[in-house]
Amino acid sequence: MTEFLKQPTSVEKWGIFELSLNGPSEGNPYQEVNLTARFQYKNRIVEPDGFYDGNGVYRIRFMPDEIGIWCYITTSSIPELDGHHGEFICLQPSLGNHGPVRVKNGYHFAYEDGTAYMPFGTTCYHWTHHGDERNEELTLQTLESSPFNKVRMCILPTRGMRPPQLAFTGTTPEDTDRTRFNPAFFAHLEGRIADLCRLGIEADLILFHPYDKGDWGFDSMDRETDQYYLRYVIARLAAFRNVWWSLSNEYDFNKFKTVEDWDRLIQFVQRRDPYQHLRSIHNGTKMYESSPLYDFSKPWITHQSIQHWDPELTTEWRMANRKPVVIDEISYEGNSSRRWGNISGEEMTLRFWETMTRGGYVTHGEAYTHQDKRAWISSGGTLQGESSERMAFLRRIMEEGPADWSQAAQDGDYYLNYFGRHQHAYYELALPMGTEYSVEIIDTWNMTVTPLGGTFSGPSRIELPGNPYTALRIRKAAQLAGAGAGGGESA
């Protein structure tokens, strides 16, 4: 039969075990060859799809989630790919590997090992598409020193783009062959997803988008081609623990697909993804019109990926669908000529705070336009706005607090009051009686935290600086002083 490639014998938990096999290269192996494998640990069985990687090489990727000995066996209609079996050991995850992100406590997120994860996303739609390795490295450097731990990024190109490589073979709309994928494109993309993973950044992959307008035609493929594409993407990328699936950006701007089509495609991803990565879809028109959002209560949706300019609706969306709210587009900081891309850093910071203090999450983006280079939201590069530094400050504040701060507020343990554009001279806090609280005044723009002396209990008048963008952080004094402090309980 065929030559046996050497297979790995160990992999860390939530790492990627990759089985490589040689097989036929004639015909169109993407279409004609089926390959899956069955991975088993005790009575847990996972069956990911394999994929053709060009040059006669087939691969099956698997992300184990149990420590111990896993065995596997392949299945294919092609004899030389069928029946390969073996075993490997799944080891402790390495430092910083907490597994994929999951929904936790209804409205929040956590890594699979239980470590808290709060999404502080940003947007670089096509940072991997331009064939500019130097700019991609620069983007990674920028992200590494930024507060961002999620990037929204597209797999497919937009109208007018002529990237050196595509998900499909070919480089122009005329010579694209939608029956064949381009392994080199994916290898490059996977490298970047792995780079993000190393930096602790989730890759919120946008699978479709409407910015095609008859150029590539990727927004108007038939049902079979859509699923053929999704299946290949999932086979290659689902084993990366930092992947999220965003079925489409601004799905409602795509006039070729109905909501039912989207429902079907999201359910297809739900069926094919062995790891059940986070799944959502992102609306367009809601930004300035009153058409309804996608019905995020549908069971295949894990979180609400919303576009809207008004963070004060967060409470309403939480109550409506009882899933995490992530406002993935809330307008971008910048100086674009388009309304969606030219809010100030102050406004962007305000929208982050308004959303997060209501128990939602927001994704950042910058659209500063220059004669000589593309905007961050399009191509990454460097950040120049004023909000990202404030996001870092906000992230620090949020991470110092409880993971589920809305619950903590209900429990009377922790409060974060944000006053937005309001500039109170003082504020009448109605604190619970019988519990002592520390109070700090936060200047969210100048990024200062000023503790007030003493502790507070019951109705308390707090003098404020009378500036906009002020917040109060209120914590149980005992929490701060450590267990056993105050109250005179026996030791």
- The piece of 37-45, 183-191, 204-212, 417-425 that touches a second copy (CB under 8 A) is 417-425
Residue 339 sits in the site that holds a second copy (CB under 8 A):
yes
Residue 421 sits in the site that holds a second copy (CB under 8 A):
yes
| Of the residues 225, 335, 407, 460, which one makes contact with a second copy according to CB under 8 A | 335
Distances (CA, A) of 202 to 69, 210, 278, 307, 404: 28, 23, 11, 19, 20
Nearest to 151 by CA among 184, 117, 125, 176: 125
- DSSP for 305-322 reads EEE-S-GGGHHHHHHHH-
CB nearer a second copy, residue 86 or residue 420: 420
Distances (CA, A) of 167 to 120, 129, 233, 297: 28, 10, 9, 32
The footprint of a second copy on this chain (CB under 8 A) covers a number of residues equal to: 23
Residue 336 sits in the site that holds a second copy (CB under 8 A):
yes
| DSSP 8-state class, residue 207 | E
Residue 270 sits in the site that holds a second copy (CB under 8 A):
no
- Residues 438-467, one symbol each (x = binds a second copy by CB under 8 A, - = not), give --------------------------x-x-
**What residue type is assigned to position 89 of the chain?**
I
- The piece of 118-126, 166-174, 343-351, 449-457 that touches a second copy (CB under 8 A) is 343-351
Considering the complex, what minimum distance in angstroms separates the CB of residue 424 from a second copy? 5
Residue 163 sits in the site that holds a second copy (CB under 8 A):
no
Instruction: Tell me the C-alpha distance between 139 and 376, whole Å.
Output: 9
HSE-CB for 136 with a 13 A CA cutoff: 17
CB nearer a second copy, residue 198 or residue 461: 461
Beta carbons of 327 and 360 less than 8 angstroms apart: yes
Considering the complex, what minimum distance in angstroms separates the CB of residue 370 from a second copy? 9
CB nearer a second copy, residue 451 or residue 466: 466
Residue 285 sits in the site that holds a second copy (CB under 8 A):
no
Nearest to 119 by CA among 199, 204, 197, 189: 204
Considering the complex, what minimum distance in angstroms separates the CB of residue 410 from a second copy? 22
Residues 38-97 that bind a second copy (CB under 8 A): none
| Of the residues 343, 391, 431, 441, which one makes contact with a second copy according to CB under 8 A | 343
Considering the complex, what minimum distance in angstroms separates the CB of residue 443 from a second copy? 14
Beta carbons of 322 and 106 less than 8 angstroms apart: yes
Residue 381 sits in the site that holds a second copy (CB under 8 A):
no
Residue 373 sits in the site that holds a second copy (CB under 8 A):
no
Residue 424 sits in the site that holds a second copy (CB under 8 A):
yes
Query: Can you state the angle between helices 183-198 and 223-237, rounded to 10 degrees?
Result: 50
Distances (CA, A) of 446 to 131, 139, 352: 38, 26, 15
The three-class DSSP label of residue 16 is: coil
Considering the complex, what minimum distance in angstroms separates the CB of residue 366 from a second copy? 12
- The piece of 51-59, 192-200, 292-300, 414-422 that touches a second copy (CB under 8 A) is 414-422
Instruction: Tell me the C-alpha distance between 430 and 410, whole Å.
Output: 13
Residues 130-159 that bind a second copy (CB under 8 A): none
**What residue type is assigned to position 455 of the chain?**
T
| Of the residues 82, 144, 215, 347, which one makes contact with a second copy according to CB under 8 A | 347
Residue 468 sits in the site that holds a second copy (CB under 8 A):
yes
Residue 334 sits in the site that holds a second copy (CB under 8 A):
yes
Considering the complex, what minimum distance in angstroms separates the CB of residue 334 from a second copy? 8
| Of the residues 87, 426, 432, 448, which one makes contact with a second copy according to CB under 8 A | 426
| N residues, the chain | 491
- DSSP for 225-283 reads HHHHHHHHHHHHHTTSTTEEEEEESSGGG-TT--HHHHHHHHHHHHHH-TT---EE-B-
| Of the residues 256, 422, 450, 451, which one makes contact with a second copy according to CB under 8 A | 422
Residues 234-263 that bind a second copy (CB under 8 A): none
| Of the residues 40, 227, 315, 344, which one makes contact with a second copy according to CB under 8 A | 344
Residue 471 sits in the site that holds a second copy (CB under 8 A):
no
CB nearer a second copy, residue 256 or residue 426: 426
Residue 484 sits in the site that holds a second copy (CB under 8 A):
no
Beta carbons of 102 and 119 less than 8 angstroms apart: no
CB nearer a second copy, residue 347 or residue 436: 347
Q: Mark residue 206 as left, alpha or beta (left: phi above 0; alpha: psi -120 to 50; beta: remaining).
A: beta
- In this structure, what token pair is assigned to residue 192? 């970047």
Instruction: Tell me the C-alpha distance between 364 and 149, whole Å.
Output: 11
Residue 319 sits in the site that holds a second copy (CB under 8 A):
no
Residue 427 sits in the site that holds a second copy (CB under 8 A):
yes
Residue 369 sits in the site that holds a second copy (CB under 8 A):
yes
Side-by-side strand order, sheet with 17-22: 17-22, 57-62, 50-52
Considering the complex, what minimum distance in angstroms separates the CB of residue 170 from a second copy? 34
Judged by the rule CB under 8 A, the positions of this chain that interact with a second copy are: 334-337, 339, 342-344, 347, 368-369, 419, 421-428, 464, 466, 468
